[in-house]
Amino acid sequence: SEADAAAKCIKGDRKAPYTLGWANIYSVPTWMKQTEGTIAAEVEELKKQGLVDKLVITDAQGDANVQIQQIQSMIDADVDAILLIAGSSTAPARVIADACAKGIAIINFDSLVDTDQVTAKINTDSNEWGDTAAKWLINELGGKGKILVLNGPAGISVSDDRRKGANAALAANPGIEILAETNTAYNVAPAQEAVTSLLFAHPEIDGILSLGGALSAGAILAMDKQGRPMVPITGENARQFLELWKDKSLKSWATMQPNWLGGFAAYTAVQALEGKDVPAFVKVPLPVIDNSNIDGYLARAKDFPADGYIFSPYDEKLFGELLAAK
């Protein structure tokens, strides 16, 4: 009954076992494939508990419009919960509101939507990401130096948020000079190309503020190929980058967008459907990788694809704690 329902969108009229829908934006990239792995694993777990009987997955092939269409299909098929990585931070808002009105639990993770018509949003804080990364780099450079800023694709909220997060720290340190900024896909090859050109144009570079994905690996490969001395660089948990870090003894700092956000979203959806109260926003603390714990990550490297991401360990206990934290 309605009274039991605590979380948003939940009407309490749905009974286990549930059908979960994962509205993926693009299932081809390795990060997505790893994320799908954590969802599938969690769903297996939940199936054993008799809570879930089916997981349906759609792939919008990178097209936010197709994603809307597929979410509509999920509504039509009356799934019990939708897990969503949004292809656009605004576009799915209306179709999500429709789903919410139908009592479907909506757990939005990784790429978030600018609407509150969802059961829960699960993510790390992109602003904090940019902020922490910038502070680490500024600290490393002693508040003075010339840097490059590597951003993800233009026009995407995540990359914009990370960059905005870095603003305050950069503004507070006038000694830091931004030589150039780039926007590329979160991939090695385009980053390597861009950084190579920038290295030629700027003979003196003291640090690189790289805001995600495989950008850092691309930057290091570019410097290495030119025989330039390595400079402090921020990054993410891409396996290739972590291996280069160790290999070239870099001064680095990395954080991550843990792939288990997916598994966590599946867990949260079921909790919400089961009538548990879940917070509207679950802020997942950013795990930090630095010289103190990098070996631990690299020790597990072989369990991850060569072009994949080494994420921190997780279990249902961690999920429970994250949900409990207010």
Partner 1 sequence: MNGTEDTRFPRWRAASLLRNRAFLTVLIVALVWIVAAFAKPGFGSYGHLRYLLELAAVIGLVAIGQTYVVIAGGIDLSVGAIVTVSAVGVPLVALSGDSSGAFAVIAILAAATGIGLLNGLGVAYLRIHPMIMTLAMATFLQGVLILIAGGTAISAQNPLLAWLGNARIIGIPAGVILWTIVSAAALAVLHATPFGARLFALGANPLASALSGVNVQRTTMAVYAVSGLTAGLAGVLVLGMNGQGYVGIGDPYLLASIAAVVLGGTSILGGSGSYAGTIPGAILLVTITALITVVNASAGWRSILFGSLILLLLLLSGRESQRR
Partner 2 sequence: MSNLAPTHEDRLYWPVQRQRNRSLYGLFVVVAAFVALYAYLFPGLLSVAGISKFAQSWLPLALVSMAQAILMLTGGISLAIGATVSLGAVIAATTMMGPLGVPGGIAAVAFSGLGIGALCGVIAIRLRLPAIIVTLAASFIIAGLALLILPRPGGAIPGWFSDLLAGNTPAALILLILAALLWKLYLATPLGLSLYAAGENPVGAYRAGVPVDTARIAAYALSGLLSTLAGLFIAAQTGSGDPVIGNAFTLNSIAAAVLGGVGFLGGRGTMRGAIAGSLLLSVMINVMFFLGFPPVAQYVAQGLIIIGAVALPEITRRFRRAR
Residue 66 or residue 168: which is nearer to partner 2 going by CB?
66
Q: Does position 73 bind partner 2 by CB under 8 A? A: yes
Euclidean distance between CA atoms 57 and 302, whole angstroms: 27
Window 265 to 324, contacts with partner 1 (CB under 8 A): 302, 305-308
| Contact status, residue 221 vs residue 249, Cβ threshold 8 Å | no
SS3 42: helix
Window 1 to 60, contacts with partner 1 (CB under 8 A): 27-30, 33-34
293 contacts which partner out of partner 2, partner 1, none, CB within 5 to 8 A by kind?
A: none
Among 35, 89, 216, 257, binds partner 2 (CB under 8 A): 89
Reported as half-sphere exposure (CB side, CA atoms, 13 A), residue 245 has a value of 26
214 contacts which partner out of partner 1, partner 2, none, CB within 5 to 8 A by kind?
A: partner 1
305 contacts which partner out of partner 1, partner 2, none, CB within 5 to 8 A by kind?
A: partner 1
Instruction: List the structure tokens of 315.
Output: 């279990």
Cβ within 8 Å of residue 12, ≥6 positions away? 1, 2, 3, 4, 5, 275
| Contact status, residue 90 vs residue 102, Cβ threshold 8 Å | no
Residue 29 or residue 279: which is nearer to partner 2 going by CB?
29
Among 5, 10, 74, 118, binds partner 2 (CB under 8 A): 74
Rg (CA), the chain: 21
Residue 185 or residue 199: which is nearer to partner 2 going by CB?
185
End-to-end CA separation in angstroms for the chain:
25
Q: In what order do the strands lie in the sheet with 105-109?
A: 52-59, 18-24, 81-84, 105-109, 120-123, 281-283
User: For residue 247, which phi and psi values (nearest 5 degrees)?
Assistant: -60, -45
Window 140 to 199, contacts with partner 1 (CB under 8 A): 154-155, 180-183, 185, 187-190, 192-194, 196-198
| Bridge partners (DSSP) listed for residue 106 | 82
10 Å CB burial of residue 321 (0-12, 13-18, 19+) is: exposed
Among 69, 139, 226, 293, binds partner 1 (CB under 8 A): 226
Among 61, 197, 226, 291, binds partner 2 (CB under 8 A): 61
Among 214, 215, 254, 269, binds partner 1 (CB under 8 A): 214
Euclidean distance between CA atoms 35 and 32, whole angstroms: 5
Residue 159 or residue 252: which is nearer to partner 2 going by CB?
159
Nearest distance in Å: CB 150, partner 1: 11
Residue 11 or residue 164: which is nearer to partner 2 going by CB?
164
Residue 94 or residue 225: which is nearer to partner 2 going by CB?
94
Euclidean distance between CA atoms 56 and 256, whole angstroms: 27
User: For residue 122, which phi and psi values (nearest 5 degrees)?
Assistant: -125, 120
Find tokens 């809570």 and name the residue. Answer: 51
**Sequential DSSP letters for 63-82:** -HHHHHHHHHHHHHTT-SEE
Q: Does position 27 bind partner 2 by CB under 8 A? A: yes
Q: Does position 35 bind partner 2 by CB under 8 A? A: no
Window 143 to 182, contacts with partner 2 (CB under 8 A): 153-157, 160
Catalog residues that contact partner 2 under the rule CB under 8 A.
24, 27, 56-59, 61-66, 68-70, 72-74, 76-77, 88-94, 114, 153-157, 160
Catalog residues that contact partner 1 under the rule CB under 8 A.
27-30, 33-34, 61, 154-155, 180-183, 185, 187-190, 192-194, 196-198, 200-203, 214, 221, 225-226, 240, 302, 305-308
